[in-house]
Structure 1
Amino acid sequence: MSWFRNLAKISTLKSLQSSSSSPAAKLHNHHTPPNYLFNSLSHFTSNAFASASAAPKPTPYAGLEPTREGAEKPRVVVLGTGWAACRLMKGIDTNMYDVVCVSPRNHMVFTPLLASTCVGTLEFRSVAEPIGRIQPAISKEPGSYFFLAKCTALDTNQHVVHCETVTDGPSSVAPWKFNISYDKLVIALGAEASTFGIHGVKEHAIFLREVYHAQEIRRRLLLNLMLSDVPGVSEGEKKRLLHCVVVGGGPTGVEFSGELSDFIMRDVRQRYAHVKDYIHVTLIEANEILSSFDDRLRRYATNQLTKSGVRLVRGTVKDVEPQQLILNDGTEVPYGLLVWSTGVGPSPLVKSLDLPKSPGGRIGIDEWLRVPSVEDVFAIGDCSGFLETTGKPVLPALAQVAERQGKYLASLLNKIGKAGGGRANSAKDMEFGDPFVYKHLGSMATIGSYKALVDLRQSKEGRGISLAGFVSWFVWRSAYLTRVISWRNRLYVAINWATTFVFGRDISRI
């Protein structure tokens, strides 16, 4: 590989010498990277690199300097690729702003359909939308970029984001650190699954928030099915391997339990006849399942899940061991697959940021989604919450909340840009207009067996339409099919649903 690196280095240095005056070239000065990382990021560097081949001094790493008025557009830096961040990037005017996105993943996950991928109802790519398709300017415009990296710190006084690349695999390169200067910063870092400090959860449970979580669940489930069919495996071990435990009775936990029960009834019983009587699902919830839904819908969901073979247990998990979990009353529950879905809370990075916090530890924002203590910083999605001084409650961590905030903030930033406030520190005295107002559109959840729940009330105490059964299932599928971001993925989802209905689920362990 050495001949390839030398060739890449020579070609890179030549291109730098001929393009060192480009306005897109940027520089920050800190650490000495390996040559291959220097080459891969050389298009961000400035004139200082033109003499790098002649000087034996350490090579500074790349970064994006502050934008120059008259030569470059204002830069909006977006941290995250969730619902809020992607809706913002979709709606922002790229004729007015350059967009730089920083995230550990290069796609958005359509989370309402993620549970379906765990059992083969849908393929994984059907629920993943590349960022370059959501905002094409990131792939095409010279001043807009996507960086596969994570934010490590913020310097809000200097308008700088400190970042570090994210790599994985046994042969991954060392993390690469760089800085990005911003005119406007949007923090949309989302949240992480809550473990409530329970021992063993992170080590032994699988969360259901990312595509790789769904992949791991599917691989573990199919592995346990095949291992349980091996001669010599005891009855007790078969029961443990094929016991799927779901902790958390919210929409995600209930939908996954419903999908899993469908998979067992329609596919496992046909293709794993030797072990069909051993596999079962247990759903553990400390209170009522689907607590935000109408009482009638909750009772309906309880009855349907029980009919489909899901065992409902009311209890609180005290400890999680490699092959069993222990409830508060001392009950030991063996498991072969443990899925944890008990809600979300602030990530360690959000907690560490020196920014005001709302109740619950989220980043505090005002009515216009600004972080009021600093200039040019906004926060949206699950990582943010209204400050107590606003008199507004902290909104739930729902996709529709995040999407609505992203849409509103895109419109607000476009308005600021048109009024000449796109540059750093240029919108201090600007009138922002109407504040953000959220109206709940209702909730939906599938419970398996071609049945679902649709609750269109604006609040738990309010009045509105609530449906259950096959019609609700049809409404659920139709609604989410229209909400999938691109026509490409809508076609994928429709084809996956059709092929699963006709031929059953794919049980290949890939």
Structure 2
Amino acid sequence: MAWFRTLMQLSTIAKQPPFKPNNTVISPHLALISSISHFSTQSQPEVTRHAGLGPTKADEKPRVVVVGSGWAGCRLMKGIDTSLYDVVCVSPRNHMVFTPLLASTCVGTLEFRSVAEPIGRIQPAISREPGSYFFLANCNGVDADDHVVHCQTVTDGEDTLDPWNFKISYDKLVIAAGAEPLTFGIKGVNEHAIFLREVYHAQEIRRKLLLNLMLSDVPGVTEEEKSRLLHCVVVGGGPTGVEFSGELSDFIIRDVHQRYAHVKNYIHVTLIEANEILSSFDDRLRQYATKQLVKSGVRLVRGIVKDVQPQKIILSDGTAVPYGLLVWSTGVGPSPFVKNLELPKAPGGRIGVDEWLRVPSAQDVFSVGDCSGFLESTGKPVLPALAQVAERQGKYLASQLNRIGKAGGGHANTTKDIEVGEQFVYKHLGSMATIGRYKALVDLRQNKEGKGLSMAGFVSWFIWRSAYLTRVLSWRNRFYVAINWATTFVFGRDISRI
């Protein structure tokens, strides 16, 4: 009687009133056609699924649109007062990545979900309030005059839905789109190297590392090919590159030597940096890090990469360096989206903001995080692309928007008569980096030339872990991280290739 139940369902659908998702009407006949498509081989008619979100009315809560789900955007959403605003987040990912611990997931010290915090947990109103949404999409344009952002949905490959465009009207717009890895125009980087900024990057690194380990143990692999497969090259001596090299060397010493005894003498790590590693740290700490990395088996090479080929990289002096895994960590720069915005630019091509993180030429537009920078006219220095900078900006801007909303300036074009609050002032709290083997660096100076506490060793490693455990956003993820660390300490890392 399955055909009878299907017929009853179709008759019920035909009786239902028209459905309007975001101002787009789908008639009962269209619903009927969609339902019986399971029994038809004919192509379905193309339907505009979403027209977008129109302007808010005077009796509705004003709408804050946040572009991006990084440190700055998520900290802002966490602090925004949802009794004053509806919050709409537009991002190609539905979670925030706790980047300081991302390198640990590549080698199995932590599981991937331990460093990913869902947007709905950061700001519950997005999941509960009728006027707040999360849209899995990319923002590809901003019309500051009409207070509209243009978006395109993110789909997963050719076998899913075709992407479509939609618009969102905003009362306040916060651009927190982050940045992209710098490749310096070097040929082959995007095709052959793996970056380390997203969870899927860490997953790709882990799968490739374990695949190379297992392939190198299969009969028929030559000595030369085995050495290439097991050569892990990291380009970039900043905190991310050094931390990943340290985690990888620790993984090799503690796990590979025990579980891959046949290839333990072939696997090694090379860290390539054009200048000094950890250039923002104290000289004494840099020397300590260099000594410990070399002691752990990491080969440090000073050089500039000129070309990246499928199985080797070419340095400026002509040296060819074969690799099985290539991780690229040379800093970040503005994304094509930021470059194409018709907004004032700060030094380096980032979106230019004033002392209150406003975009001066665009009413009701703000920018925070790695995609923004102070305009030269402010006289403020260029802030580093650090998580703590982005987090502090997000917290500051949330308080600013809350103050504006309480003063009645939440809706578009209503803030001209509202007094601005205090300017954003950033004070550096220090830097930390782990270098593997229960050792880390802690530099609490406010700047490179300033005075302050700097230390290295086991105590620093304990401080590093304690600090980041408390900085993880939710108690759920803190529990995950603590359990992962304890499990790894007792049983070793999980080296399953799933």
TM-score class, shorter-chain normalisation, is over 0.9
TM-score normalized with structure 2 length: 0.94
Counterpart residue number, 1:369: 357
- What are the Cα deviations for residues 135-178 of structure 1, in whole angstroms up to 9, with x where unaligned? 00000000000000000111111000111000113412100211
Counterpart residue number, 1:212: 200
1:97 aligns with 2:85: yes
Whether the 8 Å contact between 1:16 and 1:49 is mirrored in structure 2 is no
**Aligned pairs for 1:327-342 within 5 A:** 327-342=315-330
Match of 1:388 among 376, 392, 395: 376
Counterpart residue number, 1:471: 459
- What are the Cα deviations for residues 320-344 of structure 1, in whole angstroms up to 9, with x where unaligned? 0000000000000000000000000
Counterpart residue number, 1:508: 496
Report SS of the residue matched to 1:283. Answer: strand
Whether the 8 Å contact between 1:446 and 1:473 is mirrored in structure 2 is yes
Give the distance between the partners of 1:394 and 1:58, measured in 2 at CA. Answer: 48
Counterpart residue number, 1:442: 430
Counterpart residue number, 1:224: 212
Counterpart residue number, 1:65: 54
User: Shift in Å at residue 303 of structure 1?
Assistant: 0.1
1:378 aligns with 2:366: yes
User: Shift in Å at residue 9 of structure 1?
Assistant: 9.4
Counterpart residue number, 2:233: 245
Counterpart residue number, 1:401: 389
User: Shift in Å at residue 50 of structure 1?
Assistant: 6.0
Counterpart residue number, 1:480: 468
Identity %: 78
Letter in 2 for 1:376: D
Letter in 2 for 1:372: P
Report SS of the residue matched to 1:101. Answer: strand
Letter in 1 for 2:23: T
Whether the 8 Å contact between 1:13 and 1:53 is mirrored in structure 2 is no
Please identify, of 57-66 and 280-289, the stretch whose mean Cα deviation from structure 2 is larger: 57-66
TM-score normalized with structure 1 length: 0.91
1:497 aligns with 2:485: yes
Whether the 8 Å contact between 1:81 and 1:108 is mirrored in structure 2 is yes
Letter in 2 for 1:435: Q
**Aligned pairs for 1:111-260 within 5 A:** 111-260=99-248
User: Shift in Å at residue 194 of structure 1?
Assistant: 0.2
Please provide the CA RMSD for this pair. 2.2
Pick closer, same or farther for the CA change 1:294–1:203 going to 2, 3 Å. Answer: same
Number of aligned pairs? 483
Pick closer, same or farther for the CA change 1:388–1:53 going to 2, 3 Å. Answer: same
Report SS of the residue matched to 2:271. Answer: strand
Pick closer, same or farther for the CA change 1:492–1:12 going to 2, 3 Å. Answer: farther
User: Shift in Å at residue 62 of structure 1?
Assistant: 2.0
User: Shift in Å at residue 431 of structure 1?
Assistant: 1.0
Q: Give the unaligned 5+ runs of structure 1.
A: 21-41
Q: Give the unaligned 5+ runs of structure 2.
A: 34-44
Give the distance between the partners of 2:161 and 2:7, measured in 1 at CA. Answer: 18
Counterpart residue number, 1:347: 335
Give the distance between the partners of 1:284 and 1:392, measured in 2 at CA. Answer: 33
Counterpart residue number, 1:74: 62
Give the distance between the partners of 1:52 and 1:186, measured in 2 at CA. Answer: 40
1:460 aligns with 2:448: yes
Letter in 2 for 1:45: N
Pick closer, same or farther for the CA change 1:5–1:169 going to 2, 3 Å. Answer: farther
Pick closer, same or farther for the CA change 1:242–1:100 going to 2, 3 Å. Answer: same
Counterpart residue number, 2:23: 45
Counterpart residue number, 1:275: 263
Counterpart residue number, 1:421: 409
User: Shift in Å at residue 188 of structure 1?
Assistant: 0.2
